[in-house]
Amino acid sequence: MDGHQAVYTTDEYGRPFIILREQAKKTRVHGTEAIKTHILAAKTVSNIIRTSLGPRGLDKILISPDGEITVTNDGATILGQMQVEHPIAKLLVQLSKSQDDEIGDGTTGVVVLAGALLEQSEGLLDRGIHPIRIADGFDRACGIAVKNLERIADRVEYTKEDTSNLLKTAMTSLGSKIVSKEHQQFAQIAVDAVLQVADLDRKDVPFDLIKVDGKVGGSLADTTLIKGVLIDKDMSHPQMPHTVRDARIAILTCPFEPPRPKTKHKLDISSVEEFKKLQSYEKEKFADMIKRVKDSGANLVICQWGFDDEANHLLMQNDLPAVRWVGGPEIELIAIATNGRIVPRFEDLTPEKLGKAGLVREVTFGTTRDKMLVIEECANTRAVTIFVRGSNKMIVDEAKRALHDALCVVRNLVVDNRVVYGGGAADINCAIAVQKAADEIPTIEQYAMRAFASALDCVPLALAENSGLSPIETLAEVKSRQVNEGNSQLGIDCAGRSENDMKKQFVYDPLILKRQQYLLATQLVRAVLKIDDVITAGQADE
């Protein structure tokens, strides 16, 4: 058969049918042509999220297979939820994820830069330059750009009392997010949360002590920072007290139920006496458990497992408020916050193992029956919860993602307090430095270095374009001013304040964020330039 191969087979009922299989697979491309195909795939992904860059960047709606909607302009979220088939596009998705894991912010910028580098390398390939020579030139240029970043970096001084500089950097991060209307308040919350848990002497920020929770209803302005723990549970019995002062908390991972054999067991009850005996045994066990809790001095029980109605009733009668079905991570956070110990057996419960908190209260929302439990004035003041409100689930989720970026930016400044200026100022300055270095190099790598300098311009160009400015004119003007005035703080005025000095606009980026963007993008581009063929495993040419 012409161009096809017929395979005869049978179905599960033995009926024969024919499968036609295309003999000629799609023509595979090799060498430079293959690299160009890969560059096209990467450019497509990069162009999708290019419009999300900067304070005037636009959002994307992502629809999951089951119809759930996500609205975001967070690069890592967009790429993580996009269905990409091309292997090179998948590499870009992993690139944004690695930026997110390492730094937490700058995920859109790193993909835009990688896309621009690949676009530039296409022109070099057309001129007959070998891919490895291009990659070497990019590496060399990246080294110059990173050195230049460290040269132009400023130190941001801050103390626990004066956090204004940290606040400005957090506001830069939040300026491009959906919460930008309330970005002053969100930035303040992020700074307060990080400084609450940070160990400034060791420059360490334990992120697991910051919990971000959210509830639909209320506006973004109702978002608060709770110095304690918030759990999405309520008291197990409606008649239990809704507020407990000077709480001594028994944190249990054992259920309120009589001990049973772990294997499958069968109990035959053949008379009323036996049933009554079983009932009195269970009651006795429940009474013993509650006595042990009372004897330890606890006045609140938080249990990882549920308890049946009888145990619940006895707890209520004994004035022991209780919370059930509290998840593992939350149990751990409560134990850390209250300086308590998680107790796996009732026999192990002692007064020393109880957690301590000044106030435990139930909070209710609007007209709904939703209740949450707030544990405040904890023994360990370092655990905090950010409670996000919003008009719908989509906004609450996006606000949580924005807060994550802001928390990461403040964390990065606690670890390393050097910053470069945003608005494309650092990228323009590095482009000028790389261009200057390329002019002094006699080897063929100079072409790749010039291409790297042109690629660095893509971030300020995208910022200008997304802000409704004329991209090339705006960039040319700022670049010439940087060269003539020797001022590395001049960038794109996205906010329309007629002020290009980013130091005066307080637009900061942590140095480690920008450095990581350059290094990761260059590494990925090097990897892509070295791939000249894609072979699907197990499908050899026929």
CATH assignment of the domain containing 450:
1.10.560.10
User: Are 363 and 236 in a shared domain?
Assistant: yes
- Tokens representing 91 are 């590499």
- Domain's final residue, options 416, 439, 469: 416
Query: How far, CA to CA in Å, does 92 sit from each of 82, 170, 275, 528?
Result: 11, 26, 66, 10
User: Are 78 and 121 in a shared domain?
Assistant: yes
In a domain, 536, yes or no: no
In a domain, 348, yes or no: yes
In a domain, 275, yes or no: yes
User: Are 373 and 255 in a shared domain?
Assistant: yes
User: Are 273 and 180 in a shared domain?
Assistant: no
126 is catalytic: no
pLDDT of residue 526: 92
Domain range holding 390?
A: 161-227+383-416
On the 0-12 / 13-18 / 19+ scale of CB atoms within 10 A, 258 is: middle
Indicate which CATH number applies to the domain containing 250.
3.50.7.10
Total domains present in the chain: 3
Indicate which CATH number applies to the domain containing 405.
3.30.260.10
Amino acid occupying residue 388: V
Exactly one of 108, 169, 338, 474 is catalytic; name it: 108
Coil, helix or strand at residue 152: helix
Residues 6+ apart with CB under 8 A from 429: 148, 152, 482, 488
74 is catalytic: yes
H-helix or E-strand spanning residue 282: helix 272-295
User: Are 438 and 375 in a shared domain?
Assistant: no
With a pLDDT cut of 70, the percent of the chain lying above it is 92
User: Are 462 and 340 in a shared domain?
Assistant: no
In a domain, 299, yes or no: yes
Residue 302, strand partner residues: 251, 323
- Tokens representing 299 are 């006045």
Helix boundaries (H) for 65-106:
75-81, 87-102
Exactly one of 100, 136, 139, 405 is catalytic; name it: 405
Residues 6+ apart with CB under 8 A from 189: 223, 224, 225, 386, 403
CA dist 343 and 510 (Å) reads: 43
pLDDT of residue 14: 60
Helix boundaries (H) for 16-126:
31-50, 75-81, 87-102, 107-126
pTM of the model: 0.81
- Domain's final residue, options 380, 406, 433: 380
User: Are 174 and 47 in a shared domain?
Assistant: no
User: Are 244 and 336 in a shared domain?
Assistant: yes
User: Are 275 and 342 in a shared domain?
Assistant: yes
CA dist 178 and 372 (Å) reads: 26
Which segments in the chain show pLDDT lower than 50?
A: 1-3, 20-27, 542
Residues 6+ apart with CB under 8 A from 507: 172, 175, 421, 422, 423, 425, 491
In a domain, 23, yes or no: no
- Domain's final residue, options 394, 416, 438: 416
CA dist 73 and 94 (Å) reads: 17
Residue 385, strand partner residues: 211, 226
In a domain, 313, yes or no: yes
User: Are 432 and 376 in a shared domain?
Assistant: no
CA dist 151 and 355 (Å) reads: 50
- 């497509």: which residue's tokens? 44
User: Are 126 and 215 in a shared domain?
Assistant: no
Please give the backbone phi and psi of residue 90, each rounded to the nearest 5 degrees, phi first: -65, -35
User: Are 288 and 364 in a shared domain?
Assistant: yes
pLDDT of residue 3: 47
Exactly one of 70, 72, 77, 107 is catalytic; name it: 107
In a domain, 472, yes or no: yes
CA dist 516 and 27 (Å) reads: 38
In a domain, 343, yes or no: yes
Exactly one of 72, 74, 105, 338 is catalytic; name it: 74
